[in-house]
Amino acid sequence: MIRVQRKDFDVGAELKSLTNGNHQIGGLTSFVGLVRDIAGGQSVSAMTLEHYPGMTEKQLSAIEEEANRRWPLDASLIIHRHGRLEPGDQIVLVACASAHREAAFEACHFLIDWLKTKAPFWKLEGTPDGDNWVDSKSSDDDAAARWAKG
Amino acid sequence: MKLLYFAWVRTKTGTGEETVSPPDSVCDVADLIEWLKLRGSGAADAFSDPSLIRVAVNQDYVELDHPVIAGDEIAFFPPVTGG
């Protein structure tokens, strides 16, 4: 399941709902991305996330389908926020449930790595020197490349 | 065709969305970028280094040699930074 929304999410409630009633699930992993108050040595007072409505949902669905092809998941969830956020705010939740922990851990790691290089979101950071569009990181490309099928 | 611009590509072109009818000589994404650069200083600035631009046609990532036709939705944006 994927959701793109402005509003915050309750991690506990989302995880409970994801596994609710399915007693085949033996492992549930999650990753939560948060807004930091510093970037590249500069303080960050706010972050605004822009996205491409339509393509965002299409890409997130494709990424989730790929995770389900690669690992035996009983449930998966991606929630990504957009709009104006402040330090400490939650940006993204990725969660994967499976019978055993290996699949849940690996699929969750895969989802966040792939999402960072494929989902059309852009971060605008508010700093004392003005607003800056965040540059993509080659380390994110490397992290995603690790999951390429050889 | 409908063009969409995001992040700093949007701020440089000065618009988030426009509808254009390029000449028949515009056959692929690279042609379209060259044609757009001639239309205004904002676009010329935004597309001054095409290696910094990512392109989606009808919401799928494509390369510069991907064909473009009337009715396409074509988006230009910097490398993504979500998550």
pLDDT at A150 over 60: no
* Mean pLDDT for the stretch of residues A80-91: 98
Residue B71 touches chain A, beta carbons under 8 Å: no
* pLDDT band at residue B75 under the 50/70/90 scheme: very high
A-B Cβ pairs (cutoff 8 Å, strict): 72
- Mutation for testing the B interface, residue in A36, A136, A137, A139 having most B CBs under 10 Å: A136
CA distance B29 to chain A (A): 18
Mind listing the domains of chain A with CATH numbers?
A: 2-32+51-119 (3.90.1170.40)
In this predicted model, what pLDDT tens digit does every residue of B3-59 receive, in sequence order? 999 999 999 999 999 999 999 999 999 999 999 999 988 999 999 999 999 999 999
Distance CA A59, CA A76 (A): 15
- Closest C-alpha among A63, A61, A66, A67 to residue A98: A67
* pLDDT band at residue A130 under the 50/70/90 scheme: very high
Q: Which H, E and C letters describe A103-118, residue by residue?
A: HHHHHHHHHHHHHHHH
Residue B62 touches chain A, beta carbons under 8 Å: no
* Mean pLDDT for the stretch of residues A65-84: 98
Q: What is the pLDDT of residue A85?
A: 98
**H/E element, A57:** helix A55-70
Distance CA B56, CA B29 (A): 10
Distance CA B54, CA A145 (A): 18
Option in A58, A122, A140 nearest B78 (CB): A122
Q: ipTM of the predicted structure? A: 0.95
Residue B52 touches chain A, beta carbons under 8 Å: no
Q: A84, A7 in Cβ contact below 8 A?
A: no
Average pLDDT value over all residues in chain A: 96
Distance CA A80, CA A8 (A): 9
Mind listing the domains of chain B with CATH numbers?
A: 2-77 (3.10.20.30)
